[in-house]
Amino acid sequence: MLRSPHRQPHHESHTHHLPHRPSRLAVGATLIAALAGAVLPAAGASAAPAHTPAGAPATARTAPAPTPAPTPAPDMAGVEAALNAAMANGAPGAMARFTGPDGVQSRTVGVMDRVAGTPMDVNARFRIGSVSKTFSSVVLLQLVQEKRLELDAPVNRYLPGLLPDDRITVRHLMTHRSGLADYTDAMFNQTVPGFEAVRNKVFTYQELVALSLAEPRTTEPGVSYKYSNTNFVVGGMLIEKLTGRPVADAYQRRIFKPLKLKGTSYVHPDTKIKGLHARGYLHPDEEGAPLVDSTEQTVSWAQSAGAVISTPADLNTFMSALMKGRLLSPAMLDAMRTVTPTDTTNTRFYGLGLRRYDLSCGTQVYGHTGTVQGFYTYAFSTKDGRRSLSALANTSNHGAANTALGGTLEAAFCGPKKPAAAATGKTASPSARSAESAPSASASVSPSAPSATDHAAERDLPEHH
């Protein structure tokens, strides 16, 4: 097993605000009503001032503010252990890059090219799959800021006759509550044959929507969360209709160029990843069958739902900039981070093209997961944008590898685990990671609290291995 830890010097990113940034938008009552029942981080309540006897010194009249718990240092040994676990579950290689107040740290294990034996490289480019949805969401929300799009307007107002139900709104698309079936379920019912059938095919957006509409709808609009790539295909259609330009142009002008994401691109329908890049390896459904090199493909089956290429550094920059408000107004960013549960664990949530995971230490991280043939990706940041992590394993259709890769989040954001058995004098497992270090003194969480990474990884595509 090849393993090459890296520690890089910290270089502060000087990203630029977008030109002609619109003024702040207020989140109206209609927005709040549409998201009734959303789960939001609890706000700390202010305690009433204690009674102070007459004549007491002025310094005794105000209680000192509680000291916030220190931000835990990332457990890079734990990050590497998670990467090795992804390899043990079928990934040829894996890598992670963490940025925080103390700089940049990265880890790589395994290989990015099985034939050449090239070690994984943290500077390599790769396909980020559904992390692309967050890029698409930023563009859509910028169009809302510009008053060219309304979140609660019917999609058919902008794309007349496209959908069979006028009740489906833009917000329903972005929160996966439209009820539009995910066409990839049938497309990749057999993983490798399905992939090979579309590897070099170029679809129109309309063709992909037609595949979805041929299937029964999954829910009434707005009723419940059901992940569907169709939603962000329609989102791409909205972007192109309202801007009059290809999605690639919107990404480049609104995100890639302002943030100087030089390793990030949208090259549909070209099949190659230019420059230094990791190769992707797809697991067939059949146990023991050889991996399929799936690096080169059009990704036309996904487009604005999953065809962006990037690097760990660029993903760190993007997620941090997003959380710091460099791409959206405060009102739009609040709307994006207004979330509803995606399952019954109460640790996973979805906003507008943005996932939120609640970790065992009380830290909430925002970002997205990504799956495209041959690549699993995690790209997440804290709400203040000061800490971010991106991680990759170069395989797919092997959920155990995806779940293992998710362990990088706990290690990076919660730090080394405090020995749970310290009170009894026992020694905790060296592989344990932090379940302490809550974000504030009033929000501490038990080390045994459930975490989003305690459960199987969420699927962005059907899996059968």
Q: How many other CB atoms sit within 10 Å of the CB of residue 202? A: 12
Q: Please, what is the end-to-end C-alpha distance for the chain in angstroms?
A: 23
| 448 flagged as catalytic | no
Rounded to whole angstroms, the Cα distance separating 417 from 437 reads 9
Rounded to whole angstroms, the Cα distance separating 404 from 151 reads 36
Tokens of residue 216, six digits: 């029964």
Rounded to whole angstroms, the Cα distance separating 458 from 162 reads 29
342 DSSP assignment:
S
State the alpha helices, DSSP H only, in 59-152. Answer: 76-88, 132-145
Q: How many other CB atoms sit within 10 Å of the CB of residue 265? A: 21
Residue 292 contacts residue 90 (beta carbons within 8 Å):
no
Farthest-apart Cα atoms in the chain, separation: 84
Strands laid side by side in the 281-282 sheet: 292-293, 281-282, 395-396
Rounded to whole angstroms, the Cα distance separating 318 from 379 reads 9
3-state secondary structure of 49: coil
Among residues 130, 300, 381, 396, the one annotated as catalytic is: 130
- The catalytic site residues sit at 130
